[in-house]
Amino acid sequence: MEKFLEIKLGITRIYLLKTSSGYIQIDTGMKSTADKYFKQLELLKIKPQDIQLIIASHVQSDHIGSLRILKEATSAKVLVHRLDGEALTSGKQENVYPVTLMGKILSKLTPDSMYVYDSVEPDIVIENDFSLSDFGINARVIHTPGPTMGSVSVIDDEGNAFIGCVAQNFPLRFFPGIPANAVDLSCVYSSWEKLVNEGVHTLHISHGRSFNIRHLKRILKRKK
């Protein structure tokens, strides 16, 4: 069996990493896709109780919208970076800052009702890198700010990185690049450098298909 699974829920992809005793999940998708999530789990023959930990790649409604529902239905602990912690515990999303033309168009088209999620009390609040070895997997959570200041990525020992919205190739993009929304683009580029230095090769993102890190290396090189 593959060491990780991808589940597509509307516009958001979430990931399940196989551990020695269950699964670590990255993101949950929107509140409106919770039913679809449980159906997908059933199809994959995964019991909700098998989810040990849910990591918020960053606290925005399309990533953690159904977190409260999933936390209650699973026995999962919730992990968030301290800098996104307040947005999670308050249930109030931080402002979204569109940085691409598509981001600007999307933000105009998105109704306020899309930015909805219930507050969640996290179990693990991280500040720096965090090892997932206690959960039975050789992987780490690293801080990769950009889309929000508390954005994190999960990297495994086989060169996979699950990076949320630190990069995107969606929508209508032929090549991966900067996310549609970012608090600070210089943070995005530093986070890419960090991923390059970690030696990862395949980037799995929330919006769009996985891609090789050489696309980001090329953009970084052009900027120098």
Judged by beta carbon, residue 52 or residue 148, the one nearer Zn ion is: 148
Peptide bond into 171 cis (omega under 30): yes
190, 166 contact by CB (below 8 A): no
Beta strand pairing call for 12-18 and 4-9: antiparallel
Residue nearest to Zn ion (CB): 62
CA distance 109 to 61: 15
User: Which residue, 87 or 165, is less far from Zn ion as judged by CB?
Assistant: 165
- The least distance separating Zn ion from the CB of residue 133, rounded to whole angstroms, comes to 28
Smaller CB separation from Zn ion, 148 or 160 = 148
Question: Which is nearer to Zn ion, 56 or 141 (by Cβ)?
Answer: 56
Residues 6+ apart with CB under 8 A from 110: none
**Minimum distance, C-beta of residue 62 to Zn ion, in the bound complex (Å):** 4
Q: Three-state DSSP class for 124?
A: strand
Least distance in angstroms from the C-beta of 181 to Zn ion: 7
Residues engaged in binding Zn ion (CB under 5 A):
62, 165
**Closest among 182, 198, 186, 169 to 223, alpha carbons compared:** 186
Q: How far is CA 59 from the centre of its chain?
A: 9
Beginning with the edge strand found earlier in the chain, give each strand of the sheet holding 152-156 in spatial order.
130-131, 139-143, 152-156, 160-164, 202-205, 211-212
Residues with Cβ within 8 Å of 83's Cβ and at least 6 positions away in sequence, in order, are 145, 148, 149, 150
Closest to Zn ion by CB, 70 or 137: 70
Residue 121 beta carbon to Zn ion: minimum distance, rounded to whole angstroms: 22
Q: How far is the CB of 131 from Zn ion (least distance, A)?
A: 26
* Number of residues that make up the chain: 224
Closer residue to Zn ion in complex, CB, 165/203: 165
CB of 47 to Zn ion, least distance (A): 27
